[in-house]
Amino acid sequence: MKIEIIKEVVVNDKNELLIKVIGDGNPMYQYVYREAAGVYWDDNQKAFKSTPLNEWTESKWFMHIKDIVKSGLNIELSFDDNLKWNNISDEEIINIKNALQHGV
């Protein structure tokens, strides 16, 4: 399994959650859409992204994207202490970190 390090998690002006990775990613990441799960690869941003956040929270989308990328592309998304959070509430950041820590 390949590991990609997340450099930033952001909600953009289109209300989409983006999980930006360090580096350029891989051209095969574009095929994540085939999972038909509302997860896409944005090559310009070098990020996996959601459809617009409507009914789901940022933390639910984060875990969904992480799971789809793992099952569909065999890639584990991981992050280090340099991760940046942009336009995400402290509560949602805590929810994401807790879910990752407990393997949810």
pLDDT band (50, 70, 90) for residue 100: confident
- Please check the confidence at residue 79 and state whether its pLDDT lies above 90: no
The 3-state DSSP class for residue 74 equals coil
The domains of the chain, with CATH numbers, are 2-101 (2.20.20.40)
Sequential DSSP letters for 4-44: EEEEEEEE-TTS-EEEEESS---GGGGGGGGG-SSEEEETT
pLDDT in tens, 13-68: 999 999 999 999 999 999 999 999 999 999 999 999 999 999 999 999 999 999 99
Give the residue from 76, 95, 101 showing the smallest Cα distance to 6: 76
Amino acid identity for residue 100 in this structure: L
Residue with tokens 């989308």: 61
Amino acid identity for residue 42 in this structure: D
**pLDDT at residue 43, rounded to an integer:** 96
- Please check the confidence at residue 87 and state whether its pLDDT lies above 90: yes
- Please check the confidence at residue 104 and state whether its pLDDT lies above 60: no
Amino acid identity for residue 60 in this structure: K
